[in-house]
Each structure stands twice: as C-alpha cells, then as structure tokens.
Amino acid sequence: MSFTGKYELQSQENFEPFMKALGLPDDQIQKGKDIKSISEIVQDGKKFKITVTTGTKVLHNEFTIGEESEIEMLTGEKVKAIVQMEGNNKLVANLKGLKSITELNGDIITNTMTMGDLTYKRISKRI
C-alpha cells in the first residue's frame, strides 16, 4: 500500500491542549486551529518525503524507514528519530517524548500523537 498522495485535513481532536503542552504560543494556536491543512506524501520504497502546508507555515520532512533522520516538529525544533513501518499501512515514530502513529486506510490517513496522557488526532482525506 502506497502512502503517496495529497490529503486535506478533515477533523482534529484536542488540538488546543496538545499545542499548549508542546509550548506553542496562544496566538499561533488560535491562528492554526481553523486553517486548512494539506499534507503531501511521496513514497519511494522505504523513502518518504512529507510536506504539510498549514496557511503560510510549511513543514517538510524526509526519512527512510528504519534509519535515523532529522525530523522537524510542529514547534520548528529538529530532533533525531527513527521511523518504523508496522504492517504495510502504519508509520510509527518516537520524537523526544512524543509518539506519532500515522495509519493509512483507503483514502483516509489518521495521525495520532501522544505525549504523556494527552492525545491529538488528525484525520485527513485524499484529494
């Protein structure tokens, strides 16, 4: 199953409390919560390029499954992480105390991030 495609954010849960816990300023959180977000994923075997555009903010990450990569977090901080694939439709990474699981089911991508007892979920649909 290939992750390649463009996905538009359909819904998100716990955005504000999660972003506050990450340390984002309130004005950025307020601006970010209602802005359309588009994720573009290009998968070439074990190599991934992911670009998330939210308003004027662009987050760009490249990684290879099973190899250490530098990943830019939502805060702009860059951390080293290894992304693993579970089955053929799930990407799992641990980023500095934050666990990220991205699961593809048909045309729907669900990204769940957990930090301590807080969980943030984003659901995007292929466009």
d(CA 48, CA 50): 6
Spell out the per-residue pLDDT of the chain, length 127, in tens. Answer: 799 999 999 999 999 999 999 888 898 888 888 888 999 999 999 999 999 998 888 999 999 999 999 999 888 889 999 999 999 999 999 988 899 999 999 999 999 999 999 999 999 999 9
- CA-CA-CA-CA dihedral for 65, 70, 74, 76, to nearest 10: -170
Number of domains in the chain: 1
Domain at 95, CATH number:
2.40.128.20
Which amino acid would we find at residue 43? Q
Which structure tokens are listed for 77?
């901080």
pLDDT of residue 34: 81
pLDDT of residue 35: 84
Domain that holds residue 109: 5-126
Query: Which stretches does DSSP call E strand in the chain?
Result: 5-13, 37-44, 47-54, 57-64, 68-72, 78-86, 90-95, 98-105, 108-115, 118-126
Global pTM reads 0.91
